[in-house]
Amino acid sequence: MTEPQPGAGAVVAIRGAVIDVSFAAGDLPAINEALQITDPDMAPVTVEVQAHLDPVTVRTIALQATSGLKRGLPVRRAGGPLQVPVGDAVLGRLLNVTGDMGDGKPALGADVPRRSIHRAPPEFRAQAGASTIFQTGIKVIDLLTPLAQGGKAAMFGGAGVGKTVLVMELINAMVAGYQGISVFAGVGERSREGHEMLQDMTHAGVLDRTVLVYGQMNEPPGARWRVPMTALAISEYFRDEQHKNVLLLIDNVFRFVQAGAEVSGLLGRLPSRVGYQPTLASEVAALQERIASVGGAAVTAIEAVYVPADDFTDPAVMTIAAHVDSMVVLSRAMAADGMYPAIDPITSSSILLDPLVLGADHVQVANDVRRAIERYREMQDVIALLGMEELGRDDRQIVERARRLQRFLTQPFTVTEAFTGLPGRSVPVADTIAGCKAILAGECDDWDESSLYMIGNLQEGRDKEQAARASAQKGAA
C-alpha cells in the first residue's frame, strides 16, 4: 500500500460501518471531521472521525452505505465537520443526512450557503425564556400540558399508542396559525412514512415553508445518529441568520439514542446501564441544548419519544425527559378504551402551567380536572368490585363528572378523517376551559356520556344531546 500523501489518507480496514483510515504521521483529522472516500466506480462515501487509534490511524463511522468499498481507496479531508445546505434553497425539499436531495428534483447549486452540523449551543445569557403559549387547538394539550414557544415538548409513548399521529396532527394544526418555518427530522423512519409525509405536505400547500430531513431505517446507524444534527443546522440558520421562528419536529428521538448505542457498540465501547452507550447523557444534551430562543427568534421543538416496553424508567426516556419543558405522556390503557388522543392527564405535565403565565382561571380548571380524574381512578377498583351503587352521593357525582371530562377531552383529528369519517376539530383554549368548567359545575350531569365523545366545543355536545333526546322522544311516540 502506498504511503498517504500529506492532507490525504487511505482506507486500511473496513468492518461494516466502521472504517479505519491512515494518514501521514502528525496529520490526523480532528474528532467529528468529515472525510470522503472516493472510488472511480461509485459515488463518494462520507465518513466521520470518531477516534484516534495511533499517530497515523483514525477510526471513522460511515454516514452512507459502505458496500463496494475496498482497502487502499484514497480518502479526502473536508477540512472540518460535515457541511449541509441551508437557507431558502432547501425549503420544500427532502434531504438526507449529508444534505443530498432525495425528492427527485434538481440538485442545489454551488452558491447555496452551507453550515456545519456540529455547533456549540447558544450561550446561556443569550437565550430568552420560554413563557408564551404555543396554541395547538388540541383540547387536552392546551389545557393540561401547554406547549411553550421556544420550548421543548416531548410525546412519550409505547408502540402503537399514537405518537406519530399526534405529531402529524400538530403539523396540521399549526399550518393555519403558524407562519414560521417547519423542519421535520425523520430519525429511523420507515420509507412509507416519509413518502406519506411528503404527499401530505404537498396537498396541504405548506411544503414551500417546510424542510424534510430523513435518515431512514435501512440506512447505517451513523446516518440515523447524525440526522437530527442536520435538521438542527438548518433550523439554526433560519433562527440566527434570517431571524425567523422555526418549528422543529423530530420523530423519533429514541431512535437517535438507539443509533448512538449501535455506533458505540461498533466502536468497541463498553455498554452502560441497560446496554446503552456510556455517552448517553452527553449525546442527548448535545442535541437538546441547541434548541433555544435567541435574539427574538425561537426554535420550538416537538419530539416523539418511543418508550420501550412502556417502561418510563428506561435510562434513555429519563435522560430525554430531563431536557423538556412539556411532557405529553400517552397511555396504552386510554388508547384501549378509545380515548383519543390517548394523553394521560395525570402523568403529563408542563412548566407553563403557572398562574403567572396562563392566569389563575386556566390553572384552577386544569387542577380541578386532574383532581376529578385522579379521584375516579382511585375508585375504579371499588366500582369494578361493587358497582357504582355502593359509592356515596358525592363520590358518584365526582366519578360521573370525571367520565364526562375524559370524553370531552377526546377530539377527532384532521389526519384521521379517512379512518374515522369525522372531520377534524381545532378548539380555542377559551372554549376548552369553558367546557370543562361547565362539566365540573354539573351542567352536563343529565347528559348521555356519548354526547361529549369526539366533539369540539361544548356547544357541539349540547346539539348532539338535544338531537339524541328529540330522536328518543320521536321513537317513544
Residues known to be catalytic: 163, 189-190
Whether the bond into 341 is cis, omega within 30 of 0: yes
The terminus-to-terminus CA distance of the chain in angstroms comes to 97
Q: What is the dihedral of CA 11, 13, 15, 17, to 10 degrees?
A: -20
| Rounded distance between C-alpha atoms, residue 119 and residue 237, angstroms | 11
- What H or E segment, with its residue span, contains residue 475? helix 458-476
User: To which residue does cell 380515548 refer?
Assistant: 339
Chain position carrying cell 463498553: 270
Give the relative orientation of helices 360-378 and 429-440 as an angle to the nearest 10 degrees.
50
Cell 452502560, residue located: 272
Which residue type sits at 372? Answer: A
Alpha carbons within 13 angstroms on the beta-carbon side of residue 14 total 16
Give the 3-state secondary structure of residue 22. strand
Spell out the residues 6+ positions from residue 185 whose beta carbon is closer than 8 angstroms to its own.
213, 214, 227, 228, 230, 231, 248, 249, 250, 251
Separation CA 209–CA 180 (nearest Å): 8
Residue 205: which residues within 8 A CB-CB, separation 6 or more? none
Please name which of 450, 444, 451, 449 lies closest in space to residue 465, comparing C-alpha atoms. 451
- For the record, the C-alpha cell of 457 comes out as 366545543
> Scanning the structure block, which residue is given the C-alpha cell 399514537?
162
Rounded to 5°, the CA angle 424-411-318 comes to: 115
- Which residue(s) pair with 8 in the sheet? 76
Residues 183, 91: Cα–Cα separation, whole Å = 9
